[in-house]
Structure 1
């Protein structure tokens, strides 16, 4: 039986892009440590009038989101009267029948949208009942996504020129990875979101306002006795649907090595893929 360490070594040995880098072995989590919201005193969260909630529930939800963000050191406050320099978190919700999908949009003090992300779906009945524990639980689930979006905005603005800052950071829609065994789809998607955010992109789940899109297809097939061939294709396209390029990662691993948790393998693969995605977008947008 192959150990997990052996599986990791096998997958890191080779890729079509020149080999995965050694995986980070510290703690890649903890989003709040580097968070500084640029050009804003705080993040104001008005009670959402378009979130399919009563006025009372909307106020309680704004407060729940504010408390969840404050817990990770985001300077957020629930208020119906934002100050002139406040950034804003605008919350809406869509009822699809059985579930409700909350949506969170960050705008700067001038009202320009800086990023958007969808929250985890909520059973429609629970959303309509809007008990305080339910709203608090949904707010806790939304907090990491909103925080990551803020970090992405920060990274983008820190590296942008004044004209780019005024226009807003580049936004990219990340479509969830498909085809990976185990927790690969979720792990690869989450890790790529982090790395692209650190490279200056606002990564969002929705298409609105995005200039580029990234998705990935994972294929795992038998490659010989005791081996599987793993191929990851990261596909980059632009708004008009034109495919700009692909990042290909390819290797053979012990059979079943990725049937459960991907862990450091997802981290290493996404770190390399983020660099390839950035190169493709830069090549496509550079003059000449």
Structure 2
């Protein structure tokens, strides 16, 4: 059976521009934004792959300059996403930017300033940086407007009710491991008092499990399962790591009881990571004992 579950602290190298210094956007909205933007390289921006990656970096940096928390290239399950596209119109290229929530629903779009087609095709750092700088203020305004509107809606994740967790399907397991582990983890987290769902809306935390298999000595396989816990603002809160060795090929079919054991151990680690991040309210103080009657 798999064992050796360990909770690891979150990485500290992710941009956290609002931690301690909320900035102008937070001042306008009364508290720091409850989201992070992931700017994804786009295949529809009439750029090479390398230029698309560079443009994503430039746009993320321009958004950061507007006090919007943003990263490029990769995302956590609760991140909102910005995808840039471009269309040619005569001698001009018209950039366009779509803002989507973590479930992929369109929140709004912003049209960028036209760029000469020859200039856009030539690309280069200066051209992409200018396009990003032109688009960032309008994108920041759109994000602030959407965030302010959403704050008048569902606030379950910030107090009162159960902790709401987005559980992404497990990836990388052989056999029926992805399905079995996801189902058993859903049951175990729910058994610990969390509200588990497969959509991002309303969730305060996200959990993603990834399985990696590697050969080991004497006909055995090394199994590594990492459960990453993240928060809506993109902060990586921590990881629960499970390591073990099993007979080679023994998990290529049904996981059965192994999935129950894995989920049982991992769910406790996930609970601890969320608790350490302040996700659970402290238990009420015990009532003082009644005085003993004197005879």
- Give the TM-score category using the shorter length: 0.3 to 0.5
Between Structure 1 and Structure 2, which shows a larger proportion of helix residues? 1
Larger radius of gyration: 2
- Higher RCO (CA < 8 A, seq sep 6+): 2
Q: Under a length normalisation based on structure 2, what TM-score does the superposition of the two structures give?
A: 0.43
